[in-house]
Every structure is written in structure tokens, then in C-alpha cells.
Amino acid sequence: MDIDVIKIKIRANEFLLSDHADHEAADENIDIAEIRQAILNGEILEEYADTGRGESCLIVGFANERPIHVVCGWRRDLVVVITVYIPKAPKFINPWTRGK
């Protein structure tokens, strides 16, 4: 996936949140503006092959100095935010490094 294309789509409001992402964002107290901000200043941390629903990627970015992970995929010409969360131990040592 291409982070520049994803950012263009986000700036143009050509994206949607999955129900799962909406629930996870609420649980983590992350609003849509923070999701957008994290994607727009973010970078792709991991890319995932097509596992039946298309390719996707994990983006790490920051909103108000808080690290946010956003998993994105595609639905037709739209970016789909599949899930969003704050990276924390034990799954992550820091925003860029998975725990063991």
C-alpha cells in the first residue's frame, strides 16, 4: 500500500470507518480528528497481504503527541479504517516495536 495515496484519500474525505474501528476508537477515546491526524503524519509500519478481504497496512502516527495505530485497507476507491488503537505493552514496547 502507498502511504501517499492513503493520505490523499484522507485529505479528500474519501474514507470510512468500519464498525469495529468505530467501537475501538470509542473504547480508546480516540476521535475522528485524531485518526485523521495520525494517518496524515504517519508512516506504514507493517503491510499485510490479501487474506481474503484485500491488502491492508498498519500505520503509526501521532495526534496531540499520543501514538495511534491505524489499520487501513481498501473498499473500492475508499480507504477503510479497519481498526484503531493506542499501542501499549505487552503487545508493543514502543509505537514502532512489537513486544515478544
**Average pLDDT score over the chain:** 94
Give the pLDDT confidence score for residue 47 in this predicted structure: 95
- Identify the three-state secondary structure at position 16: strand
13 CB burial (10 A radius; 0-12, 13-18, 19+): exposed
Q: Write the pLDDT tens digit of every residue in 48-73.
A: 987 777 899 999 999 999 999 999 99
Per the structure, the complete domain to which residue 14 belongs is given by 3-98
Q: Mean pLDDT across the stretch 25-36?
A: 97
Give the pLDDT confidence score for residue 100 in this predicted structure: 79
Query: pTM of the full predicted structure?
Result: 0.93
User: Could you give the CA distance from residue 49 to residue 63 in angstroms, rounded to a whole number?
Assistant: 27
The whole-angstrom distance between residue 99's C-alpha and the CA centroid of its chain comes to 19
Give the pLDDT confidence score for residue 1 in this predicted structure: 86
Number of domains present in the structure of the chain: 1
CATH number at residue 94: 3.30.2310
Asked whether the predicted pLDDT for residue 35 surpasses 80, the reply is: yes
Mutual angle of helices 32-40 and 19-28, in 10-degree steps: 100
CB 87 within 8 A of CB 69: yes
